[in-house]
Structure 1
Amino acid sequence: MADTYKFRIDHHGSLIRPAEVLNARARHAAGELDDAGLRAVEDEAISESARQQRKLRMSVVTDGEFRREDFRGAVLDTVGGFRRTGGTDKYGRAQWVADGEVKAGGPLIADGYDGVKAMAGTAAPKAGLPSPAFLAATCFDREISGAAYKSPVELGEALARIIRDEIELLISRGIRLVQLNNFRYASYLFSRGGQPLTLDEAIAVDSIAVDLTAKPEDVRIGLCPTHQVTGTVDRDAATRLFAGLPVDRWVLPYDKGAEGEADLLRAVPADRDAALGIVDPATAELEDVETIMQRMDAAAELKDIENIAVSPSAGFADTAGRAAISADDQRRKLIHVETIARMCWGNEL
């Protein structure tokens, strides 16, 4: 399952929303713009963003998550059985709870990818989704969700079937790289505990979503378990996770030079590839090229360089309107990633 198709210049998917998109969403929320008007603004912005990504010679192109408040919106905005609680989590994201049986009334995000595919050129259209285990861990409340699901595992299994159907639909419509995100895996990787699912339960739930019966050879599924190393890596947990969950690509932080970054990469099985986050999307300053290349040399000693990709270490705007840097700085960071890729692999990308 190594990265034979070389999606080597990667990014997480979420990009800084243009002002016109943020304004349109505010007007829509206020009842001043109808659904069709909002969709038209989003369509134009996504097509232009995809065109710019192609110009930057990225090997993947996404919709920037322009239609969504944050990465969870692919499910929370489209699947019945969820509601906002009115609160926010420690990251400032709106809190949601499952308050009934989860049901998808149709495609989640697949219908919105025409602009991406039209402008992608030779790059691979890429889509991002929240993992079902992540949603189950963050949206299950025993008192509220218990009428429909006895445990977060049951909720996660129901969500996994919905997300698996969406992945299959995305693939059928030309998406070649799908990235799931479950940042709750950091608790297991760094021995923090306190999760409603055990590691084995989380792996089992997410496996339902990604273990497809058939998948084209040129399609890859990846998963990001954490944006940063926050402690000593539990190597047993890393080995169990990276070997046990049947994804093709592990999307890992690699921008701080921390010992734990190498430990995570070391745990990736030989038959999976790794996308290494070599630049920090939250700081405008460009990382030193020589330092990055030294880290890439170290990575090549741990894993075949042919099965490595490079990326920013996180999305540029995981929540709409809350980017830490400017759109110009975002472009410079993506160019930096592309430059490093050319230095590592030449023009045979």
Structure 2
Amino acid sequence: MADTFKFRIDHHGSLVRPPELLAARAVNAPGLRAIEDAAIAEAVRRQRRLSLTVVTDGEFRRADFRSAVLDAVDGFDRGELKPHRSLVAEDASALTALTQIPAKATLPSPAYLAAKLYTPGGAWGSTRELGLALAKIINDEIEAIIARGVRYLQIDNPGYAAALTGQPFDLDEAIEIDSLAVTLKDKPFNVRIGICPIFSAEAEVDAAVAEKLFAGVPVDRWSLPFDKGTPGEVALLRAVPAEKDVCLGIVDPTSAELEDIDTIMDRMDVAGDIRDLEDVAVSPSAGFSPTAGGTTIGVEDQWRKLIHVETIARMCWGNEL
């Protein structure tokens, strides 16, 4: 089912932090906020020049992708969570003021956070109890983000990779928690919510688990790896329900080497045999820097990769983006 709001030239949100920003944060330099503002403005300018269909702030104000919650929410040790500021809504509002291209906001999955933060015998009775409390906070934040004009949100839960590759994982509980986070009472018709459940599918994946996951969490888009040409990637794509769209990660954000265009287009032909490409978008297969400073490529390498994604999008869809 074709989607009017395709956001076809996508990326996961995090960008490589400029060296001057990393240096300023390392010493908590005076005027750090202004340094962040300048770095974000430059990143937005470069995204606009690339004709991306979404723009992010690069997650430049975060230490890692979890920080949106961990830096803004108190009470993990008391069993009662309470945000002391917005998670990302204020940052999203500032982003929308910098560009007319749709702004994209990213948040960590509550199920993922709960699995990482829960400690037996601690303040929370179970992973599920902590996860449901986090889901309520993230659900409220999604409403606030949308109210500030953001049309596209992505939730990241790389924990699903365990279930998809046959490792121990409570899939039902994670689906319940993440579903609560993304279910809105009155979602605007032009807002899309997506989830990234896995960054790499080099091994075989459990197709039945993939089908259950993709049918279970009520999102609009699934962001999946598609940069290695493996059977696991194809199996994941086949498992996405027809009524959902999919974003294929066609380049590796951890390698500066540019992928062969003919190879990528051959893989897009495979994707086209499985689904209508009208319901497909392209992106890197993960964020460029989910942890600040934790990247294997440089700032300029990153932009070359995004140019590569934009080139493939134009080859697939022309100017109908």
Same fold (TM over 0.5): yes
Query: 2-side partners of 1:127 and 1:241: how far apart?
Result: 22
Q: Secondary structure at the match of 1:127?
A: strand
Contact 1:43/1:115, CA 8 A, preserved across alignment: no
Deviation at 1:322, TM superposition (A): 1.5
Contact 2:93/2:148, CA 8 A, preserved across alignment: no
Deviating 4+ runs (over 6 angstroms):
none
Deviation at 1:48, TM superposition (A): 1.3
Which residue does 2:92 correspond to in 1? Answer: 113
Query: 2-side partners of 1:23 and 1:114: how far apart?
Result: 26
User: Does residue 142 of the first structure (1) align with residue 114 of the second (2)?
Assistant: no
Deviation at 1:230, TM superposition (A): 4.2
User: Does residue 312 of the first structure (1) align with residue 284 of the second (2)?
Assistant: yes
Q: Summarize the Cα distance change of 1:21–1:140 in structure 2 as closer, same or farther, 3 Å threshold.
A: same
Of 270, 277, 285, the residue aligned with 2:249 is 277
Q: Secondary structure at the match of 2:75?
A: strand
Deviation at 1:105, TM superposition (A): 2.1
User: Does residue 74 of the first structure (1) align with residue 46 of the second (2)?
Assistant: no
Contact 1:13/1:128, CA 8 A, preserved across alignment: yes
Alignment deviations for residues 294-325 of structure 1 (CA, whole Å, 9 cap, x no partner): 10011011111000000000111111012111
Of 1, 7, 32, the residue aligned with 1:38 is 32
Contact 1:47/1:115, CA 8 A, preserved across alignment: no
Q: Give me the identity figure in percent.
A: 59
Query: 1-side partners of 2:87 and 2:221: how far apart?
Result: 22
Q: Summarize the Cα distance change of 1:2–1:201 in structure 2 as closer, same or farther, 3 Å threshold.
A: farther
Alignment deviations for residues 127-170 of structure 1 (CA, whole Å, 9 cap, x no partner): 110000000000000122xx3x2100010000000000000100
Contact 2:202/2:230, CA 8 A, preserved across alignment: no
Query: 2-side partners of 1:67 and 1:102: how far apart?
Result: 22
Of 157, 161, 176, the residue aligned with 1:182 is 157
Q: Structure 1 residues 252-261 or 102-111, which shifts more?
A: 102-111
Q: Which runs of 5+ in 1 are unaligned?
A: 83-97
- AA partner of residue 159 (structure 1): L
Query: 2-side partners of 1:169 and 1:2: how far apart?
Result: 27
Q: Which runs of 5+ in 2 are unaligned?
A: none
Q: Secondary structure at the match of 1:143?
A: coil
Q: Secondary structure at the match of 1:142?
A: coil
Query: 1-side partners of 2:99 and 2:239: how far apart?
Result: 33
- AA partner of residue 3 (structure 2): D
Query: 1-side partners of 2:202 and 2:250: how far apart?
Result: 16
Q: Structure 1 residues 312-321 or 110-119, which shifts more?
A: 110-119
Query: 1-side partners of 2:298 and 2:188: how far apart?
Result: 37
Matches of residues 295-334 of structure 1 in structure 2 within 5 Å? 295-334=267-306
- AA partner of residue 167 (structure 1): I
- AA partner of residue 71 (structure 2): D
Q: Summarize the Cα distance change of 1:115–1:55 in structure 2 as closer, same or farther, 3 Å threshold.
A: farther
Which residue does 1:93 correspond to in 2? Answer: none
- AA partner of residue 157 (structure 1): L
- AA partner of residue 141 (structure 1): T
Which residue does 1:21 correspond to in 2? Answer: 21
CA RMSD, Structure 1 to Structure 2 (Å): 1.3
User: Does residue 212 of the first structure (1) align with residue 184 of the second (2)?
Assistant: yes
User: Does residue 191 of the first structure (1) align with residue 185 of the second (2)?
Assistant: no
Query: 2-side partners of 1:2 and 1:174: how far apart?
Result: 23
Which residue does 2:3 correspond to in 1? Answer: 3
- AA partner of residue 19 (structure 2): A
Q: Secondary structure at the match of 1:113?
A: helix
TM-score, normalisation: structure 1: 0.89
Alignment deviations for residues 228-258 of structure 1 (CA, whole Å, 9 cap, x no partner): 0142211111010000100000000000000
Structure showing the higher strand proportion among its residues: 1
Deviation at 1:3, TM superposition (A): 3.4
- AA partner of residue 334 (structure 1): L
Q: Structure 1 residues 231-240 or 329-338, which shifts more?
A: 231-240
Query: 2-side partners of 1:63 and 1:140: how far apart?
Result: 30
Contact 1:50/1:115, CA 8 A, preserved across alignment: no
Deviation at 1:117, TM superposition (A): 1.3
User: Does residue 104 of the first structure (1) align with residue 90 of the second (2)?
Assistant: no
TM-score, normalisation: structure 2: 0.97
Which residue does 1:125 correspond to in 2? Answer: 103
Q: Summarize the Cα distance change of 1:141–1:99 in structure 2 as closer, same or farther, 3 Å threshold.
A: farther
Which residue does 2:172 correspond to in 1? Answer: 200
